[in-house]
Amino acid sequence: MAVWEEILGNYYQFVNQPVTFWEAVTTCQASGGKLVEPKSVEVNQAVAERFSAMLGYQKPSYWIGITDIEHEGEFRYVSEPLAIQFHSWFVQYEPSNSDGVEHCAHVWDLFDLGFWNDAICSAHIGFVCERNSPC
């Protein structure tokens, strides 16, 4: 796995390999972190910008650790059963729960950098892991 990079006091791994949402969750846990849970506009944008820079300033698509799999429309963090404190849904259009099957959140390269969509959890995209210490 890639090195842990410091951003605003936490540490992140950027993985540009297509996996499902739950594969991303377990891979981050196995490396001692969690799937990234952006809790401020500053962190959300800084993480998106760093991943974009890694990709030569293309926009990335990647899972974030937020799901409404238990109760439709109630988005919670994967790591703790709390309603999300911050969101960056693409305004007025997302979360759409399209076809009734979109329960996993991601940053989508279709949108301006850093905006979120809800997608089907079995889609394959990259992911970002987060933890609060470098090792």
The residues binding Ca ion (CB under 5 A) are: 68, 94, 96-97, 102-103, 117-118
Shortest gap between Cβ of 74 and Ca ion (angstroms)? 9
Whole-angstrom distance, CA of residue 67 vs CA of residue 134: 26
Shortest gap between Cβ of 103 and Ca ion (angstroms)? 4
Whole-angstrom distance, CA of residue 121 vs CA of residue 54: 25
Shortest gap between Cβ of 90 and Ca ion (angstroms)? 8
Q: Token pair 């890639």 is at which residue?
A: 2
Strand locations in the chain, DSSP E?
Answer: 5-7, 10-19, 34-35, 62-67, 76-77, 104-107, 116-119, 125-131
Query: In the complex with Ca ion, which residue's Cβ is closer, 42 or 72?
Result: 72
Query: In the complex with Ca ion, which residue's Cβ is closer, 17 or 98?
Result: 98
- Cβ neighbors of 109 (< 8 A, separation 6 or more) are 58, 59, 60, 61
Query: In the complex with Ca ion, which residue's Cβ is closer, 40 or 97?
Result: 97
Query: In the complex with Ca ion, which residue's Cβ is closer, 37 or 68?
Result: 68
Shortest gap between Cβ of 71 and Ca ion (angstroms)? 9
